[in-house]
A and B are shown apart, each in its own frame.
Chain A
Amino acid sequence: MNIIKAQPKSITTESTKYCPGCGHGIILRLIGEAIDELGIREKMILTAPVGCAVVLYDYIFCDVVECAHGRAPAVGTAIKRVHPDKFVLIYQGDGDLAAIGMAEIIHAANRGENMSVIFVNNATYGMTGGQMAPTTLIGQKTTTSPSGRTIKGMGKPIRVCELLATLEETKYLERTSINSVRNINKTKAAIRKVFQNQLNGIGFSMVEILSMCPVGWKVSPVEAIQFIEEQMINYFPLGVYKNVE
């Protein structure tokens, strides 16, 4: 039998606790492939966020630190300063990065920390059961915006790539999605780019990945993919927002 694609060596065989149809599993796999391909597992220090991705240390076979909600960029900043020759990966969700930890990500980006950030945007708070996030779309119903998010009183969804692109020290910003095989492959390439930039000492690089949360959105996995295609991508356009070589 020919093995077309094997389990990445940096990913444990532990079955994940993610819900059916959740995007974290796909992203985890892409990260594992990129780690293997670049051979960085043994020099990697990963920050796990608060939220669904908190138990990343059960799935990735590398040094991991679990951070307080939103604080991963500050924790990662210090780790990178102590070990400039190691590889620091920041993994954050939208509640983590765009709400409680907005100050930390903006200032880490503004300092031009040579770190790689993977920002998973599923437009909701998944772990706590689907509450409104800063990225929740207008009209989107959540457990804390039961009539749908309105601009008045709740503001518009925050576009993080566009926001961080205004900071001159950010070097690479791309928004991708994992709603299709084509977009999954593009996401993989973006993750590799974000990783390679750190290895090349280029500086702060981030990929924002639009991801599914069918349980939080209270839809089927197929409908979740449709939600990304029909609604999320309209508001959060895919593409490269910054690329400084």
Chain B
Amino acid sequence: MAEDKNTGLETKRVLMKGNEAVGEAAIKAGCLCYFAYPITPQTETPEYLSRRMEEENLIFLQAESEVAAINMVFGASAAGARVMTSSSSPGISLKQEGISYIAGAELPCVIVNVVRGGPGLGNIEASQADYFQSTRGGGHGDYRCIVLAPNCLQECYDMTMNAFDLADYYRMPVFIQSDGIIGQLVEPFDMHPYKPMFDKLPTKNWALTGCAGRKPNVVRTLYLNPPNGLEMHNRNLEKKYNKIKSELRWCETYNCDNADIIVIAYGATSRIAKSAIKKHNDNGLKIGLFRPKTLWPWPEAELVEVAQKNKGVKFLVIEMSMGQMLEDVLLTLMDVVTKKDILFYGMGGGWNPTPDGVYAEISEIAKKL
């Protein structure tokens, strides 16, 4: 045990798997219920929680399907509990119906997606091809989810705790967008007690607890009347989403001052990119890294600032998908740099880029500077 420099809380250095770190963080953050269905490469989370939640006298239930699991999340959240589910890409597709309802009913919950290759059954290797699915809504209707993208186990642990707070604070689903590499990775991190993000969270006076001593609560997503009910509901949601866009944009910038080339990458890819960047830096090349830590809201202003500070800079977008985050980069930078200054290196087969591959890709761009 040691004392954390910033918080004074007791921390313990532990060695764990990414999928387990997420589970332990959930327990520490006061997650009362967890509902899920096994799928590779996230199954260590339900396996870990089936044991730990029993120890802690919490609610663990292996659902009959992903569809049932997300609807159990809906029920538990409506009942006022902190609740989490986890899955991987095909399972998250099945959960989209429920996620749309949860977003529509403005219920808080945490959803972990350990992304694997797709479309379809794809494969079980790491991928980032669910970027559209998690940042664009995924299910039917006009809604958004907060999406946090960890790139190490410390962030898996910290962001899972943050996710519960953000979900309660904004009353909406929050994704932890992990991937097959981060989920399966084993590395040490500091396990500390729960650190709340906010001094105070709104009370759940809307929760279903039986209406003793108050008017009945109704959790609903249907707006048949008054005639403009749904219009107003969607406008209110939009207001909330705009507020989040102004309050919650997380990113990491590394060596982005006076850079000639800036790599844009998130999750596992950002770590691979950083290895290649460091090697180039050692050789005297000015290469930086811009890493979104929130995929929604996208750190738009921060990326614009980086582009404006570095005149003539080339951007290299690296993804384990075929140009999904690239669209956000293009939309963000379309008034700041020309399209030919934004380059792309993507992997589509559920295989990760290697530091050598990224190094070579950067070398090719550097030659033409």
Interface residue ranges of A34-82 to B (CB < 8 Å): 41-45, 54-55, 57, 61-68, 71, 74-79, 81-82
Interface segment out of the listed B8-16, B215-223, B266-274, B352-360: B215-223
Decide if B76 touches A103 in the complex (CB within 8 Å): no
For the complex, is B155 an interface residue (Cβ under 8 Å from A)? no
Decide if B98 touches A68 in the complex (CB within 8 Å): yes
Q: Contacts A78-B35, A81-B59, A87-B210; is A57 near B220 (CB within 8 Å)?
A: yes
For the complex, is B366 an interface residue (Cβ under 8 Å from A)? no
Q: Contacts A43-B210, A63-B209, A81-B59; is A71 near B81 (CB within 8 Å)?
A: no
CA distance A202 to B39 in the complex (A): 34
CA distance A235 to B85 in the complex (A): 42
Whole-angstrom distance from the CB of B75 to the nearest CB of chain A? 3
CA distance A76 to B208 in the complex (A): 11
Decide if A83 touches B59 in the complex (CB within 8 Å): no
Decide if B59 touches A66 in the complex (CB within 8 Å): no
Interface residue ranges of A138-153 to B (CB < 8 Å): none
Q: Contacts A42-B210, A45-B210, A74-B63; is A61 near B216 (CB within 8 Å)?
A: yes
Decide if B97 touches A78 in the complex (CB within 8 Å): no
CA distance A16 to B75 in the complex (A): 26
Whole-angstrom distance from the CB of B364 to the nearest CB of chain A? 50
Whole-angstrom distance from the CB of A148 to the nearest CB of chain B? 32
For the complex, is A193 an interface residue (Cβ under 8 Å from B)? no
Decide if B65 touches A62 in the complex (CB within 8 Å): no
Contact of A63 among B61, B63, B68, B208 (CB under 8 A): B208
CA distance A14 to B80 in the complex (A): 28
Closest A residue, CB atoms, query B79? A82
For the complex, is B78 an interface residue (Cβ under 8 Å from A)? yes
For the complex, is B32 an interface residue (Cβ under 8 Å from A)? yes
CA distance A64 to B69 in the complex (A): 20
CA distance A182 to B83 in the complex (A): 46
Decide if B97 touches A77 in the complex (CB within 8 Å): no
For the complex, is B369 an interface residue (Cβ under 8 Å from A)? no
Closest A residue, CB atoms, query B72? A78
CA distance A210 to B98 in the complex (A): 30
CA distance A231 to B366 in the complex (A): 81
For the complex, is A104 an interface residue (Cβ under 8 Å from B)? yes
Count of A-B contacts with CB under 8 A?
Answer: 126
Whole-angstrom distance from the CB of A176 to the nearest CB of chain B? 27
CA distance A103 to B219 in the complex (A): 23
CA distance A68 to B95 in the complex (A): 12
Whole-angstrom distance from the CB of B214 to the nearest CB of chain A? 9
CB-CB under 8 A from B63, the residues of chain A are 74, 107
Decide if A66 touches B219 in the complex (CB within 8 Å): yes
For the complex, is B211 an interface residue (Cβ under 8 Å from A)? yes
Contact of A81 among B76, B208, B219, B220 (CB under 8 A): B76
Contact of B61 among A55, A67, A76, A77 (CB under 8 A): A77
Whole-angstrom distance from the CB of A41 to the nearest CB of chain B? 7
CA distance A81 to B63 in the complex (A): 13
CB-CB under 8 A from B211, the residues of chain A are 41-42, 44, 61-63
For the complex, is B187 an interface residue (Cβ under 8 Å from A)? no
CB-CB under 8 A from B72, the residues of chain A are 74-75, 77-78
CA distance A78 to B68 in the complex (A): 10
Decide if A86 touches B209 in the complex (CB within 8 Å): yes
Whole-angstrom distance from the CB of A79 to the nearest CB of chain B? 5
CA distance A65 to B78 in the complex (A): 7
Closest A residue, CB atoms, query B77? A78
Q: Can you offer 19 A-B residue contacts whose CB atoms are under 8 A?
A: A42-B212, A43-B212, A44-B210, A61-B216, A63-B210, A65-B78, A65-B219, A77-B61, A77-B75, A78-B33, A78-B71, A78-B73, A79-B208, A81-B61, A81-B76, A82-B79, A82-B80, A83-B210, A103-B68
Residues of B participating in the A interface, judged by any CB pair closer than 8 Å: 32-33, 35, 59, 61, 63-65, 67-69, 71-76, 78-81, 83, 97-98, 101, 105, 208-213, 216-222, 224
**Told that A75-B71, A76-B75 touch, could you supply 13 new A-B pairs with CB distance under 8 A?**
A44-B210, A55-B224, A63-B216, A64-B216, A65-B75, A66-B105, A68-B74, A71-B68, A71-B74, A74-B68, A78-B35, A82-B75, A104-B67
